Amino acid sequence: MPEITANKLSESLLLAVKMQGPTDEITANLAGLSLDDLQNDLKDDLHKKAFWINIYNAFFQILRKVKKIDKSKIYTEKIIEIAGHNMSLDDVEHGVLRKYRYKFSLGYLPNLFAARLIKKLAVDKIDYRIHFALNCGAESCPPIAFYSVDRLDAQLEMATLSFLEGETEVYEDKKEIHISKLFKWYHGDFGGNKGVRKILKEKLNLDTQGFKLNYKSYSWEEQLDNYSDVDFK
Protein backbone atom coordinates (compact mmCIF):
# COMPACT_ATOMS: atom_id res chain seq x y z
CA MET A 1 0.00 0.00 0.00
CA PRO A 2 1.51 3.37 -1.00
CA GLU A 3 2.51 5.71 1.79
CA ILE A 4 0.02 8.49 2.50
CA THR A 5 2.07 11.66 2.47
CA ALA A 6 1.09 15.15 3.52
CA ASN A 7 0.93 16.18 -0.14
CA LYS A 8 -1.40 13.30 -1.00
CA LEU A 9 -3.64 14.25 1.90
CA SER A 10 -3.85 17.83 0.66
CA GLU A 11 -4.78 16.65 -2.83
CA SER A 12 -7.38 14.24 -1.44
CA LEU A 13 -8.91 16.99 0.67
CA LEU A 14 -9.24 19.40 -2.24
CA LEU A 15 -10.76 16.69 -4.42
CA ALA A 16 -13.27 15.79 -1.69
CA VAL A 17 -14.21 19.45 -1.34
CA LYS A 18 -14.70 19.81 -5.08
CA MET A 19 -16.84 16.66 -5.24
CA GLN A 20 -18.77 17.79 -2.13
CA GLY A 21 -17.84 14.56 -0.40
CA PRO A 22 -16.99 13.86 3.26
CA THR A 23 -13.83 15.52 4.53
CA ASP A 24 -13.79 14.65 8.25
CA GLU A 25 -11.45 11.65 7.92
CA ILE A 26 -8.97 13.57 5.77
CA THR A 27 -8.94 16.62 8.04
CA ALA A 28 -8.49 14.29 11.03
CA ASN A 29 -5.48 12.70 9.32
CA LEU A 30 -4.02 16.14 8.62
CA ALA A 31 -4.56 17.15 12.26
CA GLY A 32 -3.05 13.88 13.46
CA LEU A 33 0.23 14.21 11.59
CA SER A 34 3.20 14.77 13.84
CA LEU A 35 5.10 17.98 13.26
CA ASP A 36 8.23 15.95 12.52
CA ASP A 37 6.42 13.89 9.87
CA LEU A 38 4.98 17.04 8.31
CA GLN A 39 8.38 18.69 8.09
CA ASN A 40 9.95 15.51 6.73
CA ASP A 41 7.28 15.26 4.04
CA LEU A 42 7.54 18.93 3.14
CA LYS A 43 11.28 18.72 2.69
CA ASP A 44 11.69 21.55 0.18
CA ASP A 45 9.82 24.47 -1.36
CA LEU A 46 8.37 22.27 -4.09
CA HIS A 47 6.58 20.08 -1.55
CA LYS A 48 5.68 23.05 0.67
CA LYS A 49 4.06 25.08 -2.09
CA ALA A 50 2.03 22.19 -3.49
CA PHE A 51 0.79 21.23 -0.02
CA TRP A 52 -0.09 24.65 1.32
CA ILE A 53 -1.75 25.93 -1.87
CA ASN A 54 -4.09 22.93 -1.83
CA ILE A 55 -4.68 23.35 1.90
CA TYR A 56 -5.55 27.04 1.51
CA ASN A 57 -7.94 26.50 -1.37
CA ALA A 58 -9.65 23.51 0.26
CA PHE A 59 -10.07 25.10 3.66
CA PHE A 60 -11.37 28.39 2.31
CA GLN A 61 -14.27 26.47 0.79
CA ILE A 62 -14.78 24.45 3.99
CA LEU A 63 -14.69 27.48 6.28
CA ARG A 64 -17.06 29.50 4.13
CA LYS A 65 -19.51 26.85 2.93
CA VAL A 66 -19.52 24.30 5.75
CA LYS A 67 -18.41 26.22 8.84
CA LYS A 68 -20.23 29.37 7.66
CA ILE A 69 -17.40 31.63 8.86
CA ASP A 70 -18.13 35.27 8.13
CA LYS A 71 -15.98 36.82 5.43
CA SER A 72 -14.74 39.44 7.90
CA LYS A 73 -13.21 36.73 10.09
CA ILE A 74 -12.41 33.96 7.67
CA TYR A 75 -8.74 34.86 7.20
CA THR A 76 -7.84 35.26 10.87
CA GLU A 77 -9.73 32.46 12.64
CA LYS A 78 -7.22 29.80 13.76
CA ILE A 79 -9.38 26.76 13.11
CA ILE A 80 -7.34 24.92 10.48
CA GLU A 81 -5.68 22.07 12.36
CA ILE A 82 -2.48 20.75 10.81
CA ALA A 83 -0.10 18.47 12.71
CA GLY A 84 -1.76 19.30 16.01
CA HIS A 85 -1.50 23.07 15.57
CA ASN A 86 -4.31 25.51 14.81
CA MET A 87 -3.65 27.89 11.96
CA SER A 88 -5.52 30.55 10.01
CA LEU A 89 -5.73 31.22 6.29
CA ASP A 90 -3.50 34.24 6.90
CA ASP A 91 -0.94 31.96 8.57
CA VAL A 92 -0.92 29.78 5.48
CA GLU A 93 -0.72 32.59 2.92
CA HIS A 94 1.29 35.35 4.56
CA GLY A 95 3.12 33.22 7.08
CA VAL A 96 4.11 30.02 5.27
CA LEU A 97 3.79 30.72 1.53
CA ARG A 98 5.00 34.33 1.71
CA LYS A 99 7.73 33.61 4.26
CA TYR A 100 6.08 35.55 7.10
CA ARG A 101 5.60 38.85 5.29
CA TYR A 102 3.62 41.48 7.18
CA LYS A 103 0.19 41.39 5.57
CA PHE A 104 -0.19 45.13 5.00
CA SER A 105 3.34 46.03 3.88
CA LEU A 106 2.83 45.40 0.13
CA GLY A 107 5.34 42.59 0.47
CA TYR A 108 8.25 44.71 1.67
CA LEU A 109 8.41 44.01 5.41
CA PRO A 110 8.69 40.81 7.44
CA ASN A 111 6.30 40.10 10.29
CA LEU A 112 8.57 40.58 13.28
CA PHE A 113 6.09 38.76 15.51
CA ALA A 114 5.73 35.61 13.39
CA ALA A 115 5.32 32.48 15.50
CA ARG A 116 8.17 30.01 15.73
CA LEU A 117 5.98 27.36 14.09
CA ILE A 118 5.37 29.56 11.05
CA LYS A 119 9.10 30.16 10.66
CA LYS A 120 9.71 26.40 10.80
CA LEU A 121 7.14 25.67 8.11
CA ALA A 122 7.73 28.65 5.80
CA VAL A 123 9.16 28.42 2.31
CA ASP A 124 12.79 29.37 1.82
CA LYS A 125 12.00 31.70 -1.08
CA ILE A 126 8.84 33.59 -2.04
CA ASP A 127 7.43 32.51 -5.40
CA TYR A 128 5.21 35.30 -6.77
CA ARG A 129 3.25 32.74 -8.81
CA ILE A 130 1.38 31.59 -5.70
CA HIS A 131 -0.76 34.72 -6.04
CA PHE A 132 -2.20 33.26 -9.23
CA ALA A 133 -3.00 29.97 -7.49
CA LEU A 134 -4.68 31.01 -4.22
CA ASN A 135 -8.45 31.43 -4.33
CA CYS A 136 -10.25 33.57 -1.73
CA GLY A 137 -13.76 33.03 -3.00
CA ALA A 138 -14.08 36.34 -4.86
CA GLU A 139 -14.95 36.95 -8.50
CA SER A 140 -11.53 38.43 -9.30
CA CYS A 141 -9.60 35.55 -7.70
CA PRO A 142 -7.73 32.98 -9.78
CA PRO A 143 -9.64 29.71 -10.21
CA ILE A 144 -8.87 26.67 -8.06
CA ALA A 145 -6.63 23.98 -9.52
CA PHE A 146 -5.01 20.84 -8.10
CA TYR A 147 -1.29 21.14 -7.47
CA SER A 148 1.06 18.17 -7.29
CA VAL A 149 4.76 18.00 -6.51
CA ASP A 150 5.76 16.29 -9.75
CA ARG A 151 4.17 18.96 -11.95
CA LEU A 152 4.17 22.01 -9.73
CA ASP A 153 6.41 24.29 -11.77
CA ALA A 154 4.50 23.67 -14.99
CA GLN A 155 1.18 24.07 -13.19
CA LEU A 156 2.16 27.39 -11.62
CA GLU A 157 3.41 28.61 -14.99
CA MET A 158 0.11 27.65 -16.59
CA ALA A 159 -1.90 29.31 -13.81
CA THR A 160 0.18 32.47 -14.09
CA LEU A 161 -0.10 32.71 -17.85
CA SER A 162 -3.84 32.00 -17.81
CA PHE A 163 -4.52 34.63 -15.15
CA LEU A 164 -2.35 37.30 -16.78
CA GLU A 165 -3.90 36.73 -20.20
CA GLY A 166 -7.37 37.13 -18.73
CA GLU A 167 -6.64 40.13 -16.52
CA THR A 168 -4.24 42.25 -18.57
CA GLU A 169 -5.60 44.92 -20.93
CA VAL A 170 -3.48 47.08 -23.24
CA TYR A 171 -4.70 50.49 -24.39
CA GLU A 172 -2.37 51.67 -27.15
CA ASP A 173 -4.17 54.98 -27.63
CA LYS A 174 -3.78 55.98 -23.97
CA LYS A 175 -0.43 54.27 -23.52
CA GLU A 176 -1.80 52.36 -20.54
CA ILE A 177 -1.66 48.75 -19.41
CA HIS A 178 -4.32 47.72 -16.90
CA ILE A 179 -3.30 44.86 -14.61
CA SER A 180 -4.68 42.98 -11.61
CA LYS A 181 -4.63 44.72 -8.26
CA LEU A 182 -2.74 41.71 -6.92
CA PHE A 183 0.35 43.41 -8.34
CA LYS A 184 -0.27 46.38 -6.05
CA TRP A 185 -1.15 44.49 -2.88
CA TYR A 186 1.95 42.27 -3.15
CA HIS A 187 4.21 44.72 -4.94
CA GLY A 188 7.36 43.57 -3.18
CA ASP A 189 6.69 39.91 -3.94
CA PHE A 190 6.72 40.79 -7.64
CA GLY A 191 9.94 42.78 -7.42
CA GLY A 192 8.44 46.27 -7.46
CA ASN A 193 7.70 48.22 -10.65
CA LYS A 194 10.72 46.82 -12.44
CA GLY A 195 9.73 43.29 -11.51
CA VAL A 196 6.13 43.73 -12.65
CA ARG A 197 7.24 45.03 -16.02
CA LYS A 198 9.69 42.16 -16.36
CA ILE A 199 6.92 39.64 -15.63
CA LEU A 200 4.66 41.19 -18.28
CA LYS A 201 7.52 41.00 -20.77
CA GLU A 202 8.47 37.41 -19.95
CA LYS A 203 4.95 35.98 -19.70
CA LEU A 204 2.99 38.02 -22.24
CA ASN A 205 5.79 39.41 -24.40
CA LEU A 206 4.56 42.93 -23.63
CA ASP A 207 6.94 45.83 -24.12
CA THR A 208 5.82 48.16 -21.34
CA GLN A 209 8.28 50.96 -22.08
CA GLY A 210 6.38 54.22 -22.38
CA PHE A 211 3.21 52.70 -20.91
CA LYS A 212 1.67 53.58 -17.57
CA LEU A 213 0.60 50.65 -15.39
CA ASN A 214 -2.89 51.00 -13.90
CA TYR A 215 -4.38 48.65 -11.33
CA LYS A 216 -7.86 47.36 -12.10
CA SER A 217 -10.69 47.35 -9.57
CA TYR A 218 -10.95 44.04 -7.72
CA SER A 219 -14.36 42.43 -7.53
CA TRP A 220 -15.03 40.97 -4.08
CA GLU A 221 -18.40 39.57 -5.15
CA GLU A 222 -18.51 36.05 -3.75
CA GLN A 223 -17.85 33.25 -6.22
CA LEU A 224 -17.30 29.90 -4.53
CA ASP A 225 -16.57 26.60 -6.29
CA ASN A 226 -14.63 28.38 -9.02
CA TYR A 227 -12.56 25.44 -10.27
CA SER A 228 -10.32 25.59 -13.29
CA ASP A 229 -11.59 23.95 -16.47
CA VAL A 230 -8.04 22.75 -17.11
CA ASP A 231 -7.11 19.38 -15.65
CA PHE A 232 -3.84 20.21 -13.92
CA LYS A 233 -3.41 16.72 -12.46
CA separation for the pair 58, 144 (Å, rounded):
9
Between CA 111 and CA 145 the distance in angstroms is 29
Q: Tell me the average pLDDT across 164-169.
A: 98
Confirm if 124 and 45 have CB atoms less than 8 A apart.
Answer: yes
Indicate the domain borders of the chain: 6-141, 157-215
pLDDT at 229: 77
> If pLDDT is split at 50, 70 and 90, which confidence band does 3 have?
confident
Q: Give tens-digit pLDDT for 93-145.
A: 999 999 999 999 999 999 999 999 999 999 999 999 999 999 999 999 999 99
The pLDDT-based confidence of 2 (bands split at 50, 70, 90) is low
Are the C-beta atoms of 29 and 4 separated by less than 8 Å? yes
> pTM of this prediction?
0.96
Q: What pLDDT score was predicted for residue 119?
A: 97
pLDDT (0 to 100) of residue 231: 57
Pick from 190, 187, 185, 137: which is nearest to 160 by CA?
190
Strand partners, 102: none
Residue 106, judged by CB atoms within 10 A of its CB (0-12, 13-18, 19+), counts as middle
- In angstroms, the Cα distances linking 223 to 59, 60, 128, 136, 226 are 15, 12, 23, 9, 6
- What pLDDT digit, counting tens, does each position of 24-47 carry? 999 999 999 999 999 999 999 999
The pLDDT of residue 139: 97
The DSSP call for residue 160 is H
Q: What is the rounded average pLDDT of the residues 177-195?
A: 98
Alpha-carbon distance of 19 to 143, in angstroms, equals 16
Residues 41 and 48: their CA atoms lie apart, in Å, by: 9
Rounded average pLDDT over 169-189: 98
Residue 1: its pLDDT value, please? Answer: 39
Give the separation between CA 196 and CA 52, rounded to whole angstroms: 24
Short-list 102, 98, 124, CA closest to 113: 102
DSSP 137: S
- Mean pLDDT (the chain) is 96
Q: What average pLDDT does this structure show over 206-210?
A: 96
